[in-house]
Amino acid sequence: MGKTAFIFAGQGAQQIGMGRDLAEQFPSAMQVFEEAGDALGMDMKKLVWESDEATLKITENTQPAILTMSIAALRVLEEAGVQADLCAGLSLGEYSAHVCAGSVSFADAVRLVRRRGRYMEEACPAPRGAMAAIIGLTNEQVEEVCQKASEFGVCEAANYNCPGQVSISGEHDAVVKACELAKQAGAKRAVELVVSGPFHCSLLRGAGEKLAADLETVAFSEMKIPVVTNVTADFVPSAAEIRPLLARQVSSSVRWEDGVRRMIAAGADTFVEVGPGTALSGFMKRIDKEKVSCHVSDVESLKQTLEKLGV
């Protein structure tokens, strides 16, 4: 029998109102929003449901908001009897995966990601830093483009999302040059992303160092279910490795495609995207369209997923 993998979204999936219908229908989801507010000393429901896009897009708001909504959806899914055999999360989503695996408490995770968001935004704010999505080139071609553009500044592959889709990160002039070179190399698209900093590149090493100090103050337990980390695209070996991997992850490439393939090799044949958006489900179609893929982001998608899984 195949295994079920839960996969958790990263930054960019946020939207005003996310999780509201789940929270209004399921007390367990509402409790997560309230627990987040208590942990952070702020009204998480007001931030996520009633603020504006500009406020929600501030990284230190975005990250705890997405984590909260993802864990709210997770609690509802678990109540319905759907359990993960293994899990992973894209960037920020790796914290949701660790909450799912029982290796860190939700309250600790939400406090960590708020600080993580602040450190990431402070490390190299736009417009000095930039990111871009490159569509239609191989990983090797993108790496070559980044190498050539590096004479204009830092430029590195940031997210290996799925075949033919890699995002790059670095100093603005170098990223712009890389987009030009990518188009010359035959990319279908090479577009700058609207982000608040150059995530997952060496410019964020300082943010990772600050985060490492915060990670030391938090208790981590052994994982009850295996977690694949973005840094190595492999399973986290033990609780002792969680802190260094999360600290490195801030400035390391996100090896998402390889991580999904690792879960498939471990027997995963059903992937449930838990939290806002459907980007990871889109990546799944490009990585392996034969695998069952579904998502839970609201009451309607929950119903559809439970039907698909025969629950």
The pLDDT of residue 191: 93
Active site residue 172: no
Give the chain's radius of gyration (CA, Å). 18
Length of the chain: 311
Q: Do domains 3-123+203-308 and 129-195 have the same CATH topology?
A: no
| Mode of pairing for the β-strands spanning 227-229 and 86-89 | parallel
Token pair listed for 107: 């309250």
What is the pLDDT, as a whole number, of residue 125?
76
Residue in the block written with tokens 């600080």 = 115
Tell me the C-alpha distance between 31 and 23, whole Å. 8
| Catalytic position from the list 70, 91, 167, 251 | 91
Alpha helices (H) in 41-153, listed in sequence order: 44-50, 53-56, 59-79, 93-100, 106-123, 139-149
Give the per-residue pLDDT at 54: 92
The segments of the chain whose pLDDT lies below 70 read none
Amino acid 127: pLDDT: 78
Instruction: Read off the pLDDT of residues 269-293 as tens digits, 9 standing for 90 and up.
Output: 999 999 999 999 999 999 999 999 9
Q: What count of Cα atoms within 13 Å lies in the side-chain half-sphere of residue 123?
A: 30
Topology of 3-123+203-308 in CATH? Malonyl-Coenzyme A Acyl Carrier Protein; domain 2 (3.40.366)
> Residue 293 and residue 280: Cα distance in Å, rounded?
9
Per-residue pLDDT, 261: 98
Q: Which CATH architecture has domain 129-195?
A: 2-Layer Sandwich (3.30)
Question: Element (H or E) spanning 89, and its range?
Answer: strand 86-89
Whole-number pLDDT of residue 258:
98
Active site residue: 169, 200, 251, 295, which one?
A: 200
Name the residue ranges covered by the structural domains of the chain. 3-123+203-308, 129-195
DSSP β-bridge partners for residue 270: 4, 292
The residues near 298 (Cβ < 8 Å, ≥ 6 apart) are 18, 19, 21, 22
**Catalytic site residue 28?**
no
